[in-house]
Each structure stands twice: as C-alpha cells, then as structure tokens.
Structure 1
Amino acid sequence: MDDTERGRATDGVGDATTVREGDPDELVAVMRVFDAGLLEADAGEVRDRLAAGDCLVAEASGRVVGALALDGDYIDAVAASPSRRGRGVGTRLVRAALDRRGRLVADFDEGVRPFYEALGFDIEERDGGDGRGDGERRFRGVLRDE
C-alpha cells in the first residue's frame, strides 16, 4: 500500500499531506482556511461539524492546510490554504469525504466549476433563485462513488 492509499500524498515539493478527521480544538485553524478561501462559513456550525466528526482536514508539516465540512452528504465548505492551492489538497479532501459518504452534493458558483468538473461531479445549472441577487450563475453538482 503506498502513501496515497493511506490518505497521504506528496504535493510535488516533497511535503506529505495527510487527510484526517478534524479535531474540535482545530476550529481556529479550520476557520482560517475557510476565511482565506473567502467562504462564508459560520464558526458555530463548523464547531458542530468538528464535534460530530463531519469535518475533514488536510495536514502538512503539522498544520492544517485544507478543510472540508459536511452536512450529511452535502459539502458545506471546502478550501485549501492559498499556498497549497493547485496541489491536490481539495481533491484529496473531496475523495476522502466521498469514501465516507458514497455520494456528495455541492452548490457552487462558476469560478470553481472547473474544480468540481475535474473531480467528476455531474453538474447542472441552478435557476438562480438562491436570493443572492448578485447575478452570478450557480451550479449544483453530484458525485457518486461508483
């Protein structure tokens, strides 16, 4: 079994990244990752996800470099630290969540659509009735473990 099969992967600069269940004591670190990703994550909800075991973190060199919060099979938030973007951190988080749930659903805007497409999500455009009023196109994606 190689490092990738154990939940570890090397990001191209020799730094091993591990995906694991987040710990409630990591709330601040997880919120920093979400904030850096410009996500509107509620700290109380993230704390609840961490306590319930529904938040995964990517760790490298002893620090949280990515996080994914689940609500059932729905991805509430997923982000990687700016210095780790484009290195597969988000992909590893989504794959680990899929292994746990067997099916994932995500709502997202056009800017991150390529990320979800690359992961194999079946994507449909939403009708825009999300009440945001910003005119940005919204999408829903579904990924099944097949």
Structure 2
Amino acid sequence: MIREGRPGDLPALRAVQSATLAEPWPDLLETAVDGPPLVLVCDRGGPVGYALAVPDVPVTYVAELAVAPDSQGEGVGTDLVTALFDRLRERGVERVRLTARAVDEGVHDFYEGLGFDVVERVPDHYESGDGLLFERSL
C-alpha cells in the first residue's frame, strides 16, 4: 500500500534511509513527514520504502527515493514513483527532476526505465563526486 508519510513513520524511514542512501538528508526527512514536502511510503506491514519530493509547479524535485535492501527488486521503487507521478499530476506539476550519483549505473537504468532522461551532469554534486540530473515530463 502506498500512502502519505506520518510522523510515526520516522524511525522506520530513517532506518531505510541510512541502510540505502550513500548521502542521506536526515533533517530533510524529519521536516518532510510534517510537510510541506511530500513523502509517500510503501507500507507492507511497516514502511519498506519512501519517496520524498519537494512539490513546486511546474517542476518538482524528488530529493530522495529509498527502498529497504531486503525489499529491493520487488517493484517497491516503481510503485512509489508511479504513485508520486499521480499525486503530482493532480497538483498541476508538469515535470519531475531528480539527481543520482554519476557512478550508480543501476540507478540510472531504473530511472531511464521510468521515462527519465539525463539533462545535465552536475560536477561535485555529492561529496563522493558528480551527479546526473534526470528529468521527465508528466
């Protein structure tokens, strides 16, 4: 089930965040569960993944997408992004952007499979190196 995040989800979401993301933003996640950033949670008897977006019209930025390691490869990420697209369309968003580490080819394949295109290389975006800015029209 995909639903909006709640403050009570924070401990589980932090665990997913720290287990999954190389450079997480814990403060952003804490702020987001109270809004206005949008946090969608995949709940399978407890949160196993989340998508965090900073909604703006006409372009929204997805700041984090994280799926617990033992739930990866089960469609959780795809379900979260699909639900996020639906919510953002309802809000009048026309395009979605996100950044991924330039060295994460598997992540690039995932986003390209969802219709994203690389629009820019962002030097030194991450502590560990460059990022790639992806964009997709809704």
Q: TM-score range by the shorter chain?
A: 0.7 to 0.9
- In 2, the alpha carbon distance for the partners of 1:126 and 1:84 equals 29
2:77 aligned with 1:90: yes
2:49 aligns with 66
Percent same amino acid at aligned positions? 31
Structure 1 stretches of at least 4 aligned residues deviating more than 2 Å after TM superposition? 38-44, 129-132
The secondary structure found in structure 1 opposite 2:11 is helix
State the structure with more CA Rg. 1
- In 2, the alpha carbon distance for the partners of 1:79 and 1:143 equals 19
> How far 1:137 sits from its partner (Å)?
4.3
1:35-87 CA distances to partner (integer Å, 9 max, x unpaired)?
11134333332122111161110011x11111111112111110111111011
| Matched length | 125
2:98 aligned with 1:106: yes
> How far 1:138 sits from its partner (Å)?
2.1
- In 2, the alpha carbon distance for the partners of 1:87 and 1:140 equals 25
1:55 aligns with 39
| TM-score, with structure 1 as normaliser | 0.77
| TM-score, with structure 2 as normaliser | 0.81
- Which ranges in structure 1 are unaligned for 5 or more consecutive residues? 1-17
- In 1, the alpha carbon distance for the partners of 2:22 and 2:81 equals 16
1:11-58 CA distances to partner (integer Å, 9 max, x unpaired)?
xxxxxxx11101111111111111111343333321221111611100
1:80-134 CA distances to partner (integer Å, 9 max, x unpaired)?
11111011101111111111123321000231111111111021341415373x4
The secondary structure found in structure 2 opposite 1:51 is coil
Alignment of 1:1-146 (within 5 A): 18-52=1-35, 54-60=38-44, 62-72=45-55, 73-102=60-89, 103-109=95-101, 110-111=103-104, 112-130=107-125, 132=127, 134=128, 136-145=129-138
- Which ranges in structure 2 are unaligned for 5 or more consecutive residues? 90-94
Letter in 2 for 1:105: R
CA-based RMSD: 1.8
